[in-house]
Amino acid sequence: MDARRLLWILVVASGATMVVALILQRTAKVPEQAGKAQPRPASRPATDRASQQSQPSPASRPAAGASWRWEVHPAKEATLGSTDPASGYRLELSLSSLGAAVKGLKLARGGQLLRAVTFAGRSYYPLATRHILFPDEGRGQNLTVLHWRAGEVRRAPDGTQSLTFTLAVKRNGQDYVRLEKTYSLAKGSNFVQVSLRAVNLAAREVTVKLTQFGTTGLAAAASGPEQRELIYGRLVGGNLQLRRIPLAATRDMALGLRHCRWLGRSDAAEPVLWLGLADRDNTALTCIIPGGRLGPLAGPSAPARFFAAAIQESARRRTFLAGMNLGPSRIGPAGALTVRMKLYAGPRQPDPFEADPAYKARKAGRGTGWQAEAGPRGEVLLGSLDQRSGYKFQVQLTTLGAAIRTLKLSEHFRTVADKKYYRRSPDTYRRTVQKAYRRRRLRRLRQQYPELEGLVAKYPQLRAMGPKLLQPASAAKLPEEFRKLLETRPGLRKALKDCPELLQKDPGKVPDLWGNYSLLNPVPHERQDLYAMATREVRFPEASHGQDLARLDWRAGPVKTDGNSQQVTFTTQLSRYGKPCLRLEKTYAVTKGSYSVKVTLRAVNLGSEELQFELTHLLAAGVPREGIQRDQRSTAYGKLVKGELKVMKRPVPQANGKKAPPDLASPDELGRSDAGPEAVLWAGSSNRFFAAFAYIFPHQGSEALAAPAAKAAFLNAAVPESPTWRTYVPLMKLGPHRLEPGKALELKLDLFAGPKKRALFNGNALYRALNYKGALEFRPCFCAPPALALVMMWLLDLFSKVTLGNYGLAIVLLVVLVRLCLHPLTKKGQVAMMAMQKLQPELEKIREKYKDDKDRLQQETMKVYRSAGITPMLGCLPMFLQMPIWIALWTGLQAAVELRHAPFLPVWITDLSVPDALIRWAEPSQAATWPMVGPMYAFNLLPVLLAVAMFLQQKYTPTAAAASQPQKQASQKQMAYFMTGFFLLIFYNAPSGLTMYIMASTFAGVAEQYFIRKHIRQMETVEAATETKVAIPGKRFRGQKPKKPKGPFRLTK
């Protein structure tokens, strides 16, 4: 919950009493108006999704001053092949000039396989060339609404039939680009050869990006269950892996091309080779075949990015629309770009393109000649978790991708119990954590194999055999039941080997400890974990080759230690055709007393020719979730905006919305380091209290903070961390860089990993210059700026020194200070409210007298208030003045890592940054979620006490309702109950520090009201006792006479 939402809740809470009371009063007084129909506002017309999709994007609008004209041709259809078995053809292809697409495809034996699908008023044809974009010109065109020029069907002597479609465009009256698309079908073949060619007719270089549909409209079976699915082949480690997405998955996908799912790229380290649709018996697949300038499977000239979208094919059925984006590709003057595709339509096969020599060579990995040197798998530890060592964290490095597996902070722990145990016994804490880990693992395995406990009780010799149980010599001594259990439960043998304690007695009670706080952690992704700072991929654009380095074990060197720091270097070497080509070195260094990890990346050209390469790195990955109500994690990055460094954020909940998030195959770009005045300097991940940011140092001698020479593009991708939730992972793409033979490129990075403390960021010159403090989650609003939140936290820090580090007592002192400052206004407000209560009989007469004249009623009412010296709004002023303080304290607690695990009492309220959880029965992630409350995982006592305080305050607050207004008094009584329940709900899972502040402030307000009202009554009693009425005979001076009313006046002794 941010500050704006809290402000809204407080405004609603403060105004609800007045609004509901007025409604109840009006309903009771004027019952005949309750049944009158209120005029309804005119409803806005619903937005047409199809019309939205037809609007051109900003990139597709024509550039100013340029005129574009596309050729116009008549509609034409043609047919290739035949369904007659005697003709020798296996396919019949119906072609349409609209988008140069396939209108229908029939099997000679099997009937209709592909056809057009109509969705949202549009027809989607298989193999249609959907769109062309000229990025340099800012111009795009939908090609499926244009009729291409269709040639004549040509027949070769061997029976092969072919047809060519052409379409040209002119810019400012001059020929610009011509598109040519040729379909070719041979006898006895289930393959359709498709050639798409873009010819540059201009006198300068042209950049082209094409969107090409693949197979769509696969006919459903006439009967039986739905078995259609989308399939695509991905090359992983030299092996083709078949990926399937069932048609049922479209129920969870938004409809339309805007919500497509990206499947992969053809030029990636793990490329996608083909994709299409299939049912139980038949399949229709599209593959890009290597050849010409494309290199191995659509190389740098036209890299392919495959996608799939869901569309509605009937009232009850959905289907997949598959396709690919080609490019962007640069075409020189009089040059051409050719993309060769092959469509397979026929019986289902594991890999129908295997017979193509170019495809087979690509699949086998031949022709590239690239090899990466691998070292032994291992791990390296830098730093220490012992606070006495001086290190702020311990980094666990892995040889896989030379990455950070985990990073644990030495001064912060996962639970309050860990913090208490470490302070009590630092020497035995590590051993106790290991025992607690083994006990949890033992409990989990025993739950997995419950029958094991009965066998051990029945056969005590199993426990005596111990580790010898699994040796071949002991097989004859094992009971028959146990041998059968080992055979039927394959995982049991490995569990006994890894955990010999599984057969032993329970080790007894062990403290439930979890260890230090782990800031960076592995993120599971497609059978491989993603590690922070991993060098994910190196690409050689000119050679059209990408090498996966995240699955490669780098060679780890020895750990070098001096008195103040530790460092280690990882190396790997890439060769081509057996000759060394590129050596990569990555060095990690940690220093005592610093929250920074220094990372140095060095690339050396070992060859005899100039080398061009690109590197992709992961940044901070696996930052854990903090908080129970919502995910407060985000990808944060520092970007220059008009010369000022500002912190931008991409909250993780955005990755779980209706819009399809960017994945690792197609991440979003946050910005570049060489973007000049809008450069991005750093990027990383943060949660409520902690952050990890990576910054690239500029070249030595540069005074600027940006590093344009790195040519770094900062990216952001969403990956699933659980079956129902995704998280963001920031990346960095370096290059392309060119290295002369024997030259080296060195980049230095600073990885900050620690708590988000304002004092820490202000005390470090680099952190202060990079504006890391802008990542603090203050979430300000107009009535509670960040400065007020900082003042509140400064006061808490000041009072915590007085209370010897107890922030709970500091909050109580803060309540006393705020109440003392607001006491004069509170007293005036109470006096005004009690005076208004006395004026109610007179105001009731005025209401009755002017009930038909609202303007006169308001004038007379204000006249009575002025004559009595009362300001009606004065009673609400103290509450409105406290609202900014509440919001400022709320935002401060959201970002104050000092309050994390800060206790108030030894056994209750042990963490002021979370609910008090007096009685806990579940984990927040496993508990049921209630509206306005969140996860109901524990009984929180503080919100109940707050509700009691709010009820007492509502009960003892003087009201303006007279005894003659029972309806208004009843409505105010109802509102007292309503506000009590309302505050109980919205503050039930609020931080206990905030709840305790409002509760203490409310109870103090109740006590303050009691003493103020008591004092006012005593003063009124004294005044009544000392007051005397005197009537003076005779006429008075005219200047001393009040105009109205006439009569005696009062003199006080």
> What is the domain-level CATH number for residue 525?
2.70.98
pLDDT at 24 over 50: no
Per-residue pLDDT at 1033: 59
pLDDT tens by residue, 535-594 = 998 888 765 567 888 888 999 999 999 889 999 999 999 987 778 999 999 999 999 999
pTM of the complete model: 0.65
Per-residue pLDDT at 1050: 44
Q: Give the phi and the psi of residue 913 in degrees, each rounded to 5.
A: -90, -5
pLDDT at 394 over 80: yes
User: What is the Cα–Cα distance from 566 to 396, expressed in whole angstroms?
Assistant: 13
Tell me, yes or no, whether 894 lies in a domain: yes
- Per the model's pLDDT, the better-predicted residue between 931 and 325 turns out to be 325
Instruction: Say how many domains are in the chain.
Output: 4
User: What is the Cα–Cα distance from 691 to 619, expressed in whole angstroms?
Assistant: 12
Per-residue pLDDT at 251: 75
Same domain, yes or no, for 294 and 442? no
User: What is the Cα–Cα distance from 422 to 432, expressed in whole angstroms?
Assistant: 10
Q: What is the mean pLDDT of the chain?
A: 80
Per-residue pLDDT at 822: 76
Tell me, yes or no, whether 2 lies in a domain: no
Averaged pLDDT, 67-77 = 90
Same domain, yes or no, for 509 and 533? no
Same domain, yes or no, for 265 and 252? yes
Per-residue pLDDT at 900: 86
Tell me, yes or no, whether 684 lies in a domain: yes
* Contact status, residue 373 vs residue 555, Cβ threshold 8 Å: yes
Tell me, yes or no, whether 410 lies in a domain: no
534: closest CA among 517, 554, 515? 554
User: What is the Cα–Cα distance from 961 to 727, expressed in whole angstroms?
Assistant: 54
Same domain, yes or no, for 726 and 667? yes
Kindly provide the b/e burial profile for residues 98-108, where b requires at least 16 CB atoms within 10 angstroms of the residue's own CB: bbbbbbbbbbb
User: What is the Cα–Cα distance from 844 to 91, expressed in whole angstroms?
Assistant: 92
Per-residue pLDDT at 405: 95
Q: Give the phi and the psi of residue 669 in degrees, each rounded to 5.
A: -95, 125
pLDDT tens by residue, 781-830 = 656 677 777 788 888 888 888 888 888 888 888 888 888 887 777 777 76
Per-residue pLDDT at 48: 34
pLDDT tens by residue, 166-198 = 999 998 888 899 999 999 999 988 899 999 999
Per-residue pLDDT at 683: 95
Same domain, yes or no, for 193 and 220? yes
Final residue belonging to a domain, choices 514, 536, 564: 514
* Range of 440-444, 562-566, 1047-1051 with top mean pLDDT: 562-566
Same domain, yes or no, for 498 and 551? no
User: What is the Cα–Cα distance from 861 to 844, expressed in whole angstroms?
Assistant: 10
Per-residue pLDDT at 666: 79
pLDDT at 63 over 60: no
Per-residue pLDDT at 357: 66
Final residue belonging to a domain, choices 462, 484, 514: 514
In 3-state terms, what secondary structure has residue 559?
A: coil
Neighbours of 551 (CB within 10 A): 16
pLDDT at 513 over 70: yes
Same domain, yes or no, for 890 and 1006? yes
pLDDT at 970 over 90: no
- Per the model's pLDDT, the better-predicted residue between 886 and 265 turns out to be 265
* Contact status, residue 107 vs residue 95, Cβ threshold 8 Å: no
What is the phi-psi region of residue 238: left when phi exceeds 0, alpha when psi lies from -120 to 50, beta otherwise? left
Per-residue pLDDT at 29: 37
Kindly provide the b/e burial profile for residues 791-810, where b requires at least 16 CB atoms within 10 angstroms of the residue's own CB: ebbebbeebbeeeeebbbeb
Range of the domain at 353: 67-367
- Per the model's pLDDT, the better-predicted residue between 256 and 300 turns out to be 256
User: What is the Cα–Cα distance from 293 to 987, expressed in whole angstroms?
Assistant: 64
Per-residue pLDDT at 78: 94
pLDDT at 907 over 50: yes
pLDDT band at 518 (very low <50, low <70, confident <90, very high): very high
Tell me, yes or no, whether 588 lies in a domain: yes
Same domain, yes or no, for 608 and 478? no
- Per the model's pLDDT, the better-predicted residue between 26 and 722 turns out to be 722
Same domain, yes or no, for 843 and 984? yes
* Range of 131-145, 433-447, 553-567, 885-899 with top mean pLDDT: 553-567
pLDDT band at 765 (very low <50, low <70, confident <90, very high): very high
Per-residue pLDDT at 381: 95
pLDDT tens by residue, 978-999 = 778 888 888 888 888 888 888 8
Tell me, yes or no, whether 123 lies in a domain: yes
User: What is the Cα–Cα distance from 540 to 535, expressed in whole angstroms?
Assistant: 15
pLDDT tens by residue, 603-644 = 999 988 888 899 999 999 899 988 666 788 999 999 999 888
Residues found in the chain: 1053
pLDDT at 1049 over 50: no
Same domain, yes or no, for 749 and 818? no
Final residue belonging to a domain, choices 720, 747, 775: 775
Same domain, yes or no, for 444 and 476? yes
Instruction: Identify the CATH number of the domain in which residue 324 sits.
Output: 2.70.98.90
Per-residue pLDDT at 305: 87
Per-residue pLDDT at 361: 59
Per-residue pLDDT at 779: 61
User: What is the Cα–Cα distance from 47 to 713, expressed in whole angstroms?
Assistant: 36
Tell me, yes or no, whether 36 lies in a domain: no
User: What is the Cα–Cα distance from 667 to 370, expressed in whole angstroms?
Assistant: 26
- Per the model's pLDDT, the better-predicted residue between 221 and 442 turns out to be 442
pLDDT at 246 over 50: yes
Q: Percentage of the chain with pLDDT > 90?
A: 26
Range of lowest pLDDT (215-219, 242-246, 292-296, 850-854): 292-296
pLDDT band at 42 (very low <50, low <70, confident <90, very high): very low
Same domain, yes or no, for 747 and 857? no
pLDDT tens by residue, 408-429 = 999 999 988 899 889 888 888 9
Tell me, yes or no, whether 1052 lies in a domain: no
Q: Percentage of the chain with pLDDT > 70?
A: 81
Neighbours of 46 (CB within 10 A): 6
Per-residue pLDDT at 975: 73
